[in-house]
Amino acid sequence: MKQLIAFLLSLVFFFCAFTWNTASAYGWGYQKNNHHTPPEIGSYQEVLDKYNAFYLDDSGEKNIYLTFDNGYEQGFTSDILDVLKKEEVPAAFFITGHYVESEPDLVKRMVEDGHIIGNHSYHHPDFTIMDKEAIKKELIDLEHAVAEVSDQDELIYVRPPRGTFSSNTLKWSTELGLVHVFWSLAFKDWETNSQKGADYAYEEIMKQIHPGAIILLHAVSSDNAAALEKVIQDLKAEGYQFKSLDDLWMRKQLPKQFVY
C-alpha cells in the first residue's frame, strides 16, 4: 500500500510540475491580419511592458525594422548584405555561437557595414527550462564570441531561441541589461528544402506589412535573399522608412513630449 501511495503521489507531483512548467512558458505568437495594421498579442502585451520588451514600433509612423535570425549559414547572407548596403538599409542579425564559429568573416562584415548583432544564445536552447545562471552563461558566451571576431563588444538585444519565453526569462534578461526583441511580421521561411520562390516571400511580406513592423526573416531562405531588394524598393515607394533597433529603443526611453 505504501508503494502504491508513493507511486500515486509521484504522479500527482509530476502532473503539477508539468502543468506549472507549461503554464509559465509561452511561445511567441500573434493574430495575423492582411489589413496593414499591427497584429494583436492579447495578454502578452502586459508581460512585455513589464520588462521593457517589444515586438513593434507603436508610434503609428511608417517605420520598418529588418531583423534576421542566423543560426547557420546557407550561402545567402552575403547577397543579403549586398542588398542592404546598396539600399542603405540597417538591419539586426540575431546569431548563435555556431554561426560565429563557422562564419566569423560574415559576422565581422555585418558590424563593419553598420548592422546590429543581436543575441540568439550560444547553443540555441529553450530558456524556459533553464535557471538564471545557465541563461546568463549562454548570453555572455555569445557576447564574448562576437567580440572576438568583430568590433561589437556588447550585445544589447536578445531574441529567445524558438521564440519561447516566460516572466522569469524576461526578468532575468532585463537584470542582465538586455532587451527582448520579438517580431510583428514573419512567415514560414526557414525550411530550406521547401522554398517557394521570391514571389512567395515578397507577397507574404507585402500583405502583412504595417507601420512599425519588426520583420523577422531567416537568412537561410533563398526566397528572402531573392525578394529582398524588391521588397525594400517597393516599401520605400510606399513611404516606409527602414530604421535601426537603436532608433526604436532610444524612442522608447524618451518622454513622449520629446518624441517627434
Q: Which amino acid is at 97?
A: G
Nearest alpha-carbon partner for 66 in 209, 196, 178: 209
Q: Is 58 a catalytic residue?
A: no
Distance CA 126, CA 44 (A): 19
Q: Is 144 a catalytic residue?
A: no
Strands 164-165 and 26-27: antiparallel
The residue whose grid cell reads 504595417 is: 210
DSSP per position, 53-75: -BSB-TT-S-EEEEEEEESS--S
Quick one: 73 exposed, middle or buried, by C-beta within 10 A (0-12, 13-18, 19+)? middle
Distance CA 254, CA 260 (A): 10
How many Å from the N-terminal Cα to the C-terminal Cα in the chain?
72
Nearest alpha-carbon partner for 165 in 217, 121, 117, 209: 121
- Please give the radius of gyration of the chain, using alpha carbons only, rounded to the nearest integer: 20
Kindly report the number of other CB atoms within 10 A of residue 143's CB atom.
Answer: 21
Nearest alpha-carbon partner for 120 in 155, 170, 171: 155
User: Active-site residue among 57, 115, 218, 223?
Assistant: 218
Q: Which residues pair with 181 in a beta bridge?
A: 54
User: Active-site residue among 57, 69, 189, 223?
Assistant: 69
Nearest alpha-carbon partner for 183 in 144, 220, 157, 152: 157
Q: Which residues are catalytic?
A: 69, 218
